[in-house]
Structures are given as structure tokens and as C-alpha cells.
Copies of this chain bind each other. A is one copy, B any other.
Amino acid sequence: MTVYEFAKGLILEAGGQVRSRMDESIQVETKSNPNDLVTNIDREVENYIYNSILDTYPDHQVIGEEGHGHELTQLEGFSWVIDPIDGTLNFVHQADNFAISIGIYKDNESYAGFVYDVISDTLYHAKKGEGAYINRQRIKTVEQTTLKTSIIGINPNWLTRSKSEAIFKQIVADARSARAYGSAALEIVNVATGKLAAYMTPRLSPWDYAGAAIILEEVNGVVTDLLGNPLSLIKPSSVIAANPQIHEEILTHYLSHHNEDISAFHQYLNSK
């Protein structure tokens, strides 16, 4: 069995465990702020995935949202970057619209990405160089679009804070419309399937995008930070995931006017 096949079985198994526990009373705690939630299910699913990987591949590295591998400063050999529940607010409030995300890198290069929409039982997956899939259906190469005829993904919250408002407001105003789904992994795979032309946010952690980014790149999509630089797999970052044409348009005509604000935001993120 390849690492890809092993990971595919593992994420489906973990998702089945989550579904089977949706009727349980869930223990919710807050993390960095009152709206940053974690549950016992997040922790238990991360532990399950972590232990399963190391049982089979003792020499693999694992970074997970809920605590594993946060001491790592570089990735070597096979490295897994996992989010046991991406969209924890949706998990807690909606019991829907959340995903398990796994990105696997080999010597710092993309190897395979998985995003599993647990309630709809939809697996987005890609092995580098072999195309991306929704379940067994091949995802087509992304279409090229312009902002004024595109639907973009961005959380309304970012338009209520002065620094991020300055960066994003005109982009939202000039887009055809905007959506917000509450799971970065699902929003980035929505860019891969064309449901969104672009998705933007000033602040994500590697586990939020590591899996979905590989899927998007496999269909010719582009993922960078808001300055146009490659994303880190170790540190938090701003993110724009988009089809190539709108990615270029947004970077050139909008974000490039705010490079100082964006750089300041990055410095703030890395100081935390």
C-alpha cells in the first residue's frame, strides 16, 4: 500500500468515527479567544490520526492543529500536516460544513492532499502529478475568470476590522458577489471545483491549507500569501487561493497597494 492509499483509508475511517459520534454531547473549550473553539472530538481525532500514522510509519513527521509537532522548524522526509476538524465553529454550531484535512509533503515537496467533507461524505483528494478528484470524479482544470464576473470567498468579519478592511473592501465591492462558508479547507477546494473563483483571508495556519492547496494546484489553481509568496508549512500566513487570472488581477490591481499593511500583518502573526 502506498502512503497515498494509506492516507485515503485513514481519513475516511476518521470521518466515519466523527459521524458516529455526532449525537454525543460534545465538550467545547475556548483557545486563543472566546470564538476560537476546540472540542474533545478535535483532540481525539487528531490523536487517532497521529497514532495511526506513527504505528505504520514511525519515521514520518506529523504536525497537527491540536498540538502535535508544533516544535518542528523544518520538514524532512514524509511530513503530514493535519487538521482533525477544519471549521470547528461549524462543527459546534451546525453539525455540518466541516472537514478533516491532510496534506502530505515529501522532502518539502507536495506529495498528496485530502479534504474530507464529513457530513456530505465527499472526499476531495489529489496525488501530485496524477490529477485531483471529488470522490471518483476527476476535477477539471480551473477556468480563468475576472473579478467583476466572479464569486469570491471571504469572511464578513474581515470587513469589520480596520486593517483587514483596508486590504479587502474594494475587492469585495468590485466582485460579482461574495460567499463565506466557515472552513478554509472547504473554501479552497471550492476554488478547485470552480464554485469560488478566489478565497482570501489574512490569517491561517498550515493545517488549514496544507491539504487543500495540493488539490487546488493539481487543477492549475494558485495559492500564495497576500504578497504573492509561497505559503509556509511551518508558520501561519495570509492566503489567497484562486484561478491564475483572478489571482494575478487581485494581486496586481488591489493587494499590491497594501503591501505595507500586509507585511505588518505577517510580522504580527509571526510574533505570536
Q: Which residues in A have some Cβ–Cβ distance to B below 8 Å?
A: 34-35, 89-90, 93-94, 96-97, 148, 150-151, 154-157, 159-161, 169-170, 172-173, 176-182, 194-195
Contact = CB atoms under 8 A, between A and B. Distances in A.
A180 B156 contact: yes
A178 to B, nearest CB: 4
For the residues of A in contact with B, the DSSP-based class is mixed
Contact of A157 (B96, B160, B178, B182): B178
A176 B35 contact: yes
Max chain B C-beta neighbours (<10 A), residue from A34, A96, A155:
A155
Contacts of A160: 159, 169-170, 172-173
Contacts of A157: 172-173, 177-178
**How many chain copies?**
2
A94 B151 contact: yes
A182 B177 contact: yes
Nearest to A165: B159
Given A177-B35, A195-B96, A154 B151 contact: no
8 contacts: A34-B148, A93-B150, A154-B156, A156-B180, A159-B159, A160-B170, A160-B172, A179-B181
Given A156-B180, A181-B179, A195-B94, A89 B173 contact: no
A178 B155 contact: yes
Contacts of A148: 34
Contacts of A170: 160
B155 A177 contact: yes
B179 A182 contact: yes
Given A93-B151, A155-B156, A155-B177, 11 more contacts: A93-B194, A94-B195, A96-B195, A151-B182, A155-B178, A156-B159, A156-B178, A157-B172, A157-B177, A159-B159, A159-B169
